[in-house]
Structure 1
């Protein structure tokens, strides 16, 4: 059975402090990662924490990209969730790894929306 989406959770290590601590730069890189993966960007919002760190999300037609950074640790936690066949979440993760100047990335993919028998749950409960 074909899943509805792919969700990649990425741990990105050894990143450049100055990049991970710059909300505008993280925003730019995340938006470009979405575009690099073939996604259609809808909206985005990013927040800079004090004394450091950035969190943000890019909403795409195909779902979303989200991030939280720990610049002092050179670490970024990223998730890329895509639906359909036209967007590759791994392209986004690889782009982020390069642009953050990272030394390493560990990631795993989960298939989302594998529906048993393709029967809507509500219909099964009411029958």
Structure 2
């Protein structure tokens, strides 16, 4: 909940920026997930997701990237049986139609950016924060 406002603002910023860029380029700018060179597109359009994949040290190719993204962002593991089967069906559909991942990728990027902003504020930055110094004897 602490992150919701930042998340909504970031998703809106991403959507607005990409839509304006796409329209100003006369619909040439590749804002939707391409069918080839997906790794290059991810690194330039979704850098936080690309960083997440790099942290997991997974080799990304055009043949495996959709499955890797689904495993990271939409895994049915640990779901109850009914939800697992529905999620599995959705993932099968997304494997067949990877362009449908675009909204999920926008939201995942927004979440990762907003989470990073929130975490940057963690820690004893406010006055008086942290442990009190031990009195000297």
TM-score under structure 1 length normalisation: 0.29
Structure with greater Cα Rg? 2
Which structure is higher in strand share? 1
TM-score, normalisation: structure 2: 0.27
Relative to total residues, which structure has the larger helix share, 1 or 2?
Answer: 2
